Amino acid sequence: MSLIQDIRIAIDAVKANLGRAILTCLIIAIGIMALVGMLTAIDGMKASITQNFSLLGTNTFTIINGSAFVDFNQHERKHFKTIDLKQCQNFKERFKFPAVVSNYITYSGMAVVKSAYEKSNPNVNITGADENYLSINGQQIAEGRYISEADLQNESQVAVIGEELNTKLFKGVSALNKLIVTGGTKYIVIGVLKSKGQAFDFGSNRIVIVPYTTANKKFYQPGSSYSIGVKVDDHTMLEAAQNYATGIFRSVRGLTPKMATNFDFQSSDGLSTKLISSLSFVSVAAYIIAFITLFGAAIGLMNIMLVSVKERTREIGTRKALGAKQGQILRQFLMEAIVICQLGGMGGIILGLIVGNAVSSMISGPMVFPWAWITLAIILCTVVGLLAGIMPARQAARLDPIEALRYE
């Protein structure tokens, strides 16, 4: 008997017990959907993270007063003495390297901004920055202009806003030269930023950028810390620039050679790597959910196959009486179990791809087809079918043909 014939017989057997087969397929489909769906979503997140952080470039770094990123294995994040404006200005003057330096500070991430048309949600990022901030953060102006040195010197009450905030506050009307109010202070909108996508933008679409010389009077609070962004002209000189910046800023902070460095560097590559690695626990969760579900499905399938053997005892006896060998009966029931698993697996893969890519699209990630995970799912379904079908298949193959023919 050929493999194709085995598959045909298995399909006919599935049709004969359609209700039970569908229930088993659904259980298997849920497990595979969890596996493929979650891993597809993770791949989409990784692609989105890489895409968004690549906009910052490989030639930028930021001097901050804390550890470069939250360690998910620890309960606390290390913080050092704040970086004040005087230190920022001192560093900017002394940093003689082919690079662009920007001093900026985030005053709030939960501000409310009003226009003559609408009021925002309390999720707006208020940032005080200098003339080089856009270059450091990989952002561009879509309309209008950015803050100039003259705006800083004159402490102008002007602002540049993010694309999402522009849509929310002005409802399709041009925001240029219109007033916004935040923190009780009025600002004239002089520019609107290009959108950076909805995923991992860290609030850049809901941002209000104002000259720090202006905003300090209203928003600065004691203990707030500035950040210093550096963008080198040649990315191959990034390490040299960081080493040079370390020496300069240690001097600015008044550190002696024996004193430990009390600041840190943050780069786009380091952030994206940390974020991607932090998704590993989601992958583990997908494996656990899939294992538990498939284990339950294997037990259910084995029980269904055992019942099927009982119900088809006379059929098995007839086949043996006509010359079917034990190996053929064994192969037939194993194939039936594998077919049921593969049908459930195919449904789970399709649902997983739909769910995973739906999640990816919500965070502006690309459409992903994780062929490696799909292949793994097919292999898992085959293994589950073999494990669940081996006992019923052996029981069927060992039936005595005479006793089987007598079975009522």
232 and 93 in a single domain? The answer is yes
H-helix or E-strand spanning residue 94: helix 85-94
Q: 258 and 345 share a domain?
A: no
What pLDDT is stored for residue 68 in this prediction?
A: 46
- pLDDT above 90 for 381: no
Q: Are residues 287 and 324 in the same domain?
A: yes
* Confidence bin at 83 (pLDDT 50/70/90): very high
Average confidence (pLDDT) over 83-110: 91
Residue pair 381/341 in contact by the 8 Å Cβ criterion: yes
Most confident by average pLDDT, 84-93, 313-322, 337-346, 397-406: 84-93
Q: What are phi and psi of 9, to 5 degrees?
A: -60, -40
Label residue 51 left, alpha or beta by phi (over 0 means left) and psi (-120 to 50 means alpha).
Answer: alpha
Residue 368 has pLDDT above 70, yes or no: yes
User: 231, 262, 293: which is the final residue of a domain?
Assistant: 262
Residue 267 confidence (pLDDT) above 90: no
Which tens digit of pLDDT belongs to each residue from 283-334? 777 778 777 877 877 787 788 778 777 777 777 777 777 777 777 788 888 8
Position 163 in a domain: yes
Q: What is the mean pLDDT of residues 339-367?
A: 82
Q: Check whether residue 40 and residue 88 sit in a common domain.
A: no
* Tokens standing for residue 33: 């959907």
The verdict on 211 and 331 lying in the same domain is no
d(CA 31, CA 290): 4
CA distance 30 to 116: 50
- Calpha distance 106→372 (Å, rounded): 42
Answer yes or no: do 312 and 351 share one domain. yes
- For the chain, the average pLDDT equals 81
Residue 141 is predicted with a pLDDT of 92
305 and 387 housed in the same domain = yes
Classify residue 298: in a domain, yes or no. yes
In whole angstroms, what is the distance from residue 366 CA to residue 182 CA? Answer: 36
| Residue 290 domain flag | yes
Length of the chain (residues): 408
Boundaries of domain holding 195: 81-262
Query: How far apart, in whole angstroms, are the C-alpha atoms of residue 148 and residue 131?
Result: 5
For residue 13, being part of any structural domain is answered with: yes
What's the pLDDT score for residue 395?
81
Both 396 and 289 in one domain: the answer is yes
Clarify whether residues 239 and 111 are in a common domain.
yes
Query: Are 36 and 142 contained in the same domain?
Result: no
Q: How high is the pLDDT of residue 86?
A: 93
DSSP one-letter code for 106: E
Query: Percent of the chain beyond pLDDT 90?
Result: 25
Does the reported pTM lie above 0.85? no
Contacts of 215 by beta carbon, 8 Å cutoff, 6+ apart? 107, 126, 128
Written as one string, the DSSP assignment of 105-132 is: EEEEEEE--B-SS-B--S-EEEEEE-TT
In a domain, 203, yes or no: yes
Any domain includes 330: yes
Report whether pLDDT(386) > 90.
no
Among 206, 230, 262, the domain-final residue is: 262
119 and 208: one domain? yes
**Same domain as 245, residue 308:** no
Instruction: Name the domain boundary from 262, 294, 324.
Output: 262
Number of domains in the chain: 2
d(CA 244, CA 130): 22
Domain membership flag for residue 272 = no
DSSP three-state, residue 130 = coil
Please check whether residue 381 lies inside any domain of the structure: yes
129: Cβ contacts below 8 Å, ≥ 6 apart: 102, 103, 104, 105, 147, 209, 210, 211, 212
Pairing of strands 185-193, 158-161: parallel
Classify residue 115 by its DSSP letter.
-
